Structure 1
Amino acid sequence: MADTTIKVSAETRDRLAALAAAGGTTIGAQVARLVEAQPTPEQIAERVAEGRRLLREHFGMTLTDPELDEGPNLLQRVYDIAAADARAKVAPRWRSA
């Protein structure tokens, strides 16, 4: 693969150099590592779709994609529902003791 040049500020270059040195690598390898860690919009969409598929397939979630898109803090809502379900299954044992 051919190398190329990118223009960055001196401060950014120095920061990249420090990160690369700390990681025992080159600035080019450090930039590649940073880029690989950042998903593209397409990769994010694929991950969201896969997460929704798993929620539906393994956890019986029935929310539609538009409902999921509209819901703020959806993951917290899913956790809250799961916690309530778990408490409902365990609570009768505590009360009868």
Structure 2
Amino acid sequence: MMDITFTLTILAAALATYATRTAGYVLIKSMDTIPPRMEAALNAVPAAVLAALVAPSFVYGGIDVTITMIVALLIGLRAPSLVMLGCAWAFLVAFRHFVM
């Protein structure tokens, strides 16, 4: 049986998500041109989201995850994303098998 507080919390989160996405769309559509500062801020969003997703694992994920992320970064500087992902996965499996 669902708790009413839990259900209301999920509905409030869904409403807040919908409202922010809709407001952003309406704001952008109402402008004739996007100001340069806003465009720069919007261009920075993907990197900020990626950093927010990766940073906790890098700091708290353990030495194996931290070393694998460094290896993935180094490979990613020279290789395509799929190659980097495969190499990092293989490195992590080997590191856990032989070192840990």
TM-score of the two chains, using structure 2 as the length reference: 0.31
Q: Report the structure number with the largest CA radius of gyration.
A: 1
Larger relative contact order (C-alpha < 8 A, sep ≥ 6)? 2
TM-score of the two chains, using structure 1 as the length reference: 0.31
Task: Report which of the two has the higher share of helix.
Answer: 2
